[in-house]
A = this chain, B = another copy of it.
Amino acid sequence: MFLGKVIGSVWATQKETGMENLKLMMVQPIDTKECESGQVVIAADRIGAGVGERVIVSRGTPARILFGQGNAPIDAVIVGIVDSFEVAE
């Protein structure tokens, strides 16, 4: 997983099967000093993450498992909203 910050939302009317009723957020990966670190990822959100919140994002088939037998072609999901993190100096 990676640490990210929710920076926005994206909308698409014309889409593939399995993409209906999904909330898609733009997540900027950040480092432990909360600086940008790598390319923005579009992740599905089912736990109510809001813009500005720090989140944990999982990717690939392990993330897709949350959609069970369905055909949602989702390769990134917000799996946690960060309360806090602690990094050793």
What is the copy number of this chain in the assembly? 5
* Chain B residues, CB < 8 A from A87: 7-8, 26
Q: Are B73 and A12 in contact (CB under 8 A)?
A: no
- A29 to B2 CA separation, bound complex (whole angstroms): 12
Inside 8 A of A24's CB, which chain B residues have their CB?
1, 56, 80
| Interface assignment of A59: CB less than 8 Å from any CB of chain B | yes
CA distance A3 to B16 in the complex (A): 15
A19 and B79 in contact, given A2-B39, A62-B64, A88-B52 (Cβ under 8 angstroms): yes
Closest B-chain residue to A87, C-beta based? Answer: B8
How far is A88 from B68 in the complex, measured between Cα atoms in Å? Answer: 32
Specify which chain B residues have a CB less than 8 angstroms from the CB of A42 in the assembled complex.
Answer: 1-3, 56
